[in-house]
Amino acid sequence: MKRRDALRSLALITGGLVLVPSCDFSKEDILSAYQNLQITPSLQQLLKEIAGTIIPGGDIKSAAEIEVQDFILVMVNDCIDAGGHKSFMQGLQGFEDFSKKSGGSAFSKLDQAGRKAVVKAALEVEVATDAKPEDPQKATKEFIAMAKRFTIQGFMMSEYIQTQVKPYSLIPGDYQGAVLISDLKHERING
């Protein structure tokens, strides 16, 4: 009996060793949460850096610190049509090349001023009216416009903003009859 168990174990190990060289471990995993997009962890990190550039930190947290990139990906995945998915992915995947052309280096290696210049250059890209949908300049402009819109929306709707920066009061709040205007606290939502 023990010889059979040993032979079966040996066969399983040999079969496993034969299959290991055929496995390709060099590819990045695609995040399964976004079924309409082909997002890898490195693309998600790039989007986080872009969001952190659009809304940088200061007196309040940056968009990267409150993980706005997840909101952006969910909104694009769930609320944008197939053409928008293609444009977003093409722009996101080509953003490093755009950064190398306009900023001189990969986006993640630039300092904050360089990142800001690259994002501003992407927003100001001139696209011809007869540009094809596959045009990288057009895809970059559409991508950065979507990223900016969803970054601002996600940031302003975040729990951090709604609870700590600009506290949300349900309906009109409580009634205060005799209050001087000078005693009212001005809420600063711009940081």
Model pLDDT, residue 162: 86
Q: What is the pTM of this model?
A: 0.74
Alpha carbon distances (Å) from 164 to 44, 51, 59, 93, 158: 26, 20, 12, 35, 10
> Please, what is the angle between helix 136-156 and helix 68-79, to 10°?
120
pLDDT tens figures, 97-118: 999 998 888 998 999 999 999 9
Alpha carbon distances (Å) from 80 to 15, 56, 86: 45, 26, 10
Q: d(Cα 156, Cα 49) in Å, to the nearest integer? A: 18
- Pick out the chain residues at pLDDT < 70: 1, 15-29, 31-32, 133, 169-170, 172-173, 186-191
Model pLDDT, residue 50: 95
Measure the CA dihedral 173/174/177/183, to 10°: -70
Average pLDDT across the chain, whole number: 84
Model pLDDT, residue 13: 80
Model pLDDT, residue 20: 62
